[in-house]
Structure formats: C-alpha cells, structure tokens
Amino acid sequence: MKGTVCPVCAEREVLAGYNDLATTDKQLLTEWDYKLNKLKLTEVSRNSAKRAWWQCRYGHSWSMKINECTVLGKGCRICEQEYVSEGYKVVCKIKEVENNTRVILCDLLNKRKL
C-alpha cells in the first residue's frame, strides 16, 4: 500500500534480532533483572515505555521504564546518589562514554578525613 510504513522500522513492533533490546543495547544485558522481569529482552525495544526491573553490579534493584535507561541514560537510583554508611562516603556517578556505554565510577572516602 502506498504511504504505509513498516511497523518494525517505525519501532511500533519488535522483531527479535533486529530492534529488540537484547540486540540494540547489549551493554544493558548485565543490568536486566532476569528473576523479577516477566518481559524478555527480545520482546521489547529500547524506546519502550514499559517498566522493567534492573539490578546494578552492586546488587541494588529498581523498577524503571526501559526508555529511561536506554534513551535518557538513567541508572541505579542508589548509586547515582551519595550513599553514607558507617563513617564512609561512597560517591557513585554514571558516566557516558563512547558508543552509549555507561560506566559507574565510585569513590570510597573516609568521612573523618573530609
């Protein structure tokens, strides 16, 4: 039909191996919480507004829209804030580097020396 757009190309439908999250954002495979999610990485796209469960490398778990992680680059809410515990201050920031890869940078500071 004239004037129609492919729903996969327009990202209205997900095609596994082409525009699914597992294919387009491989760096997030380690943050996907496989235990809590009923969704599969091959069933959603990076622009999806569906909520999913995520887990950072420090074990923090949180629920967030998929597009907030992929498009907006948001991550663990706990690691993004200053975390104070037992006289130490852990400061974690998420930094974007080449190819939309996110790196969590953490510094452990002794509060007594501050």
Supply the pLDDT for residue 96. 54
Supply the pLDDT for residue 97. 53
Q: What is the amino acid identity at position 99?
A: N
Q: What is the pLDDT along the chain (114 residues), one digit of tens a residue?
A: 555 788 888 888 999 999 999 999 998 999 999 999 999 999 999 999 999 999 988 888 899 999 999 998 888 887 776 444 444 455 555 555 555 555 555 554 444 433
Supply the pLDDT for residue 19. 93
